[in-house]
Amino acid sequence: MSKSTAKNRGRDDKPGEKRNTRKFEPVFEVVDLDDMSDAEITFGEEFDKRLIGQPEARQIALDVRARLRNPMRNKKHPLGIYYLVGKSRRGKSLLAQTLAYMFHGDEDALTRITSEDYYDDSQMMDLIGAPPKYVGYRKPVDMKALLEDPGRLAQVDGYSKVTDWNRIRVRMHSGEVIDVVVLEEFSKSGPDFFKFWMEVFDKGRKALGNGEMANFQNTVFILTDNLAMDQVEKEEKGGGIGFIKREAKKLAHEEVVDIVKEAMTKRFPPEFRNRIDQVTVYRELDRDQTMQVVDIQVAQFQDRIIDQMPRGDDFTLQVDRSAREFLLKEAEEDVANLKRTIMKHMEVPMGRMLDRDNPNKILGGDLVRVTWDGKSNRLSFGIARGEGDTDENIEGLKTFLGDTPASMKGVALQRRISKLRGAVTRENLKEWTVVMKADTQDDLASEVGAIQHELTNIYGLKISNLLVAFEAPYQATFYVRGSKEQMDMVADQYPELTVKEMTRALVPVDPKKS
């Protein structure tokens, strides 16, 4: 160091530091880290609609969101590694599903691996992939070229469950780059499975059997386990041997955490524990929180009506508060029993009510109300014909051109159709022609089947005859039977169709011949 350099540097200066040449110290504004943005608040509120009573899991979701948007994060490490411990069927895997839903709009947009399947190390080829000259080997894939070929990307890569190909495939329609991987019952795996993920958690990448590099830098790992939960249950049940007896008691959450920490120390070496970003012990829910879970499960059951019922058969389901209390009682106020309880007391009875051979079958547009009288051991179901909910924004929906998310939710249209079906009598039943014209033969061939399906299955009309002209002018004529109100609706929904009532010529009858 030269004398001039030492002379010019102040006594308090350190090598590598820049001297502050300002005459006055800058004014710093203290940032409140607890002050959340509107986007974070909305994210947290949406999370609360799906996972109840687990504040630590909620914070994990917020942390993952922050890390994903942080350009300064360490990209030589996975986005997050979280170890969730709790009793069986307490919603540990639900955190992974919730993250997939929050980021990709689909709770199935994740990679799920059951660790217990890899207790035998011979199964590890499902993860590592086959080396050259072994059955199942494939050459490394050019991911850049694969991303430009959506048709190929949508196919399952049979080489390894954790290839970039497979992890991107499950979220290929999302704009987010985050991958969600859930490793269930992690402590029940074998040694080689453990070693595989040790390297991934450390480096954020892993070379597979064919030399292809799997990149996990944008991956959040959710490891679930019920480690030490048998000990917790033993402590809570009480008992003992000989004269030493322990009274049954409910352990505080902090006591459960201490038991889990001790078990983690015994089960896993320090180099693994140091790779985990956070160990979270799931909390037991109180009655109010369990009721909120009931509400969520019922809402998901209601969503199935739109997602799974054939278009035209969807209806409105109202589950009264008394019915929810019944479900909670039958589940013994335990979230682990809720799905089984809903299946037994709602799904199975409604399956009989939707049976096509049932004379009191639920029809599209109906309102079904579920109640409990407070005494019996089953729920009561009532049907109000055609009284389902209405969404005025879906009036006038064109449906025969193909199913869309909007047409699948066409509750208002289906309600009107249901009412008209019920109003058909022999007296108001008439014969009509419905003519569809097309510009080309191919257009005609592709649309005839769609129109036929709509008239028969959606509107409940009976087609007595169909004439198709595959020469110009291209057109199809449907001969149908229906009420005037039904046909008015068809004409209203499909202005491109020509709907006319058939008129029959009256022939004078000679009374002498009659």
Query: What is the structure's pLDDT at 408?
Result: 43
Query: What is the structure's pLDDT at 113?
Result: 96
Under 8 Å CB-to-CB from 6, ≥6 apart: which residues? none
Query: What is the structure's pLDDT at 386?
Result: 82
> What is this structure's pTM?
0.70
What CA–CA distance (Å, rounded) separates 112 from 110? 6
Instruction: Please state at what angle helix 484-493 crosses helix 411-422, rounded to 10 degrees.
Output: 160
Phi-psi category of residue 185: left, alpha or beta, with phi > 0 → left and psi -120 to 50 → alpha? left
Is residue 298 pLDDT above 60, yes or no?
yes
Mapped onto helix, strand or coil, the DSSP state of residue 508 is coil
Is residue 265 pLDDT above 60, yes or no?
yes
Is residue 392 pLDDT above 60, yes or no?
no
Q: What angle is formed at CA 107 by the lines to CA 104 and CA 111, rounded to 5 degrees?
A: 90
- Mean pLDDT check: name the lowest of 106-115, 192-201, 241-250, 379-388: 241-250
Tell me the pLDDT tens digit for each residue of 27-83.
888 888 888 889 999 999 999 989 999 999 999 999 999 999 999 999 999 999 999
Q: What is the mean pLDDT of residues 259-272?
A: 95
Query: What is the structure's pLDDT at 230?
Result: 92
Query: What is the structure's pLDDT at 21?
Result: 65
Phi, psi of 443 (to 5 degrees): -60, -40
**Residues 214 and 163: beta-carbon distance below 8 Å:** yes
Query: What is the structure's pLDDT at 31?
Result: 85
- Mean pLDDT check: name the lowest of 173-187, 303-317, 374-388: 303-317
The domains located in the chain, with CATH, are 38-281 (3.40.50.300), 287-384 (1.10.8.60), 425-501 (3.30.70.60)
What CA–CA distance (Å, rounded) separates 63 from 178? 13
Query: What is the structure's pLDDT at 167?
Result: 97
Q: Give, for 432, the enclosing helix (H) or strand (E).
A: strand 430-437
Q: Which of 186, 152, 176 shows the shortest CA–CA distance to 166? A: 152
Phi, psi of 426 (to 5 degrees): -65, -30
What CA–CA distance (Å, rounded) separates 204 from 198? 10
**CA dihedral of residues 414, 417, 418, 420 (deg, nearest 10):** 160
Higher pLDDT, 401 or 179: 179
Average pLDDT in the chain: 85
Most confident by average pLDDT, 83-92, 311-320, 482-491: 83-92
* Identity of the residue numbered 42: T
Q: Give, for 180, the enclosing helix (H) or strand (E).
A: strand 179-184
How far is C-alpha 157 from the chain's CA centre?
A: 22
Q: Supply 278's token pair.
A: 């956070």
Q: Scanning the structure block, which residue is given the tokens 């480690």?
A: 227
Tell me the pLDDT tens digit for each residue of 319-363.
999 999 999 999 998 888 999 999 999 999 999 999 988 888 998
Query: What is the structure's pLDDT at 15?
Result: 59
Query: What is the structure's pLDDT at 397?
Result: 41
Query: 514 falls in which pLDDT band (50, 70, 90)?
Result: very low
Q: Any alpha helices (H) in 205-364, and if so which ranges?
A: 229-237, 253-267, 270-273, 287-308, 321-330, 338-342, 348-353
Higher pLDDT, 220 or 31: 220
- Per DSSP, 115 falls in state G
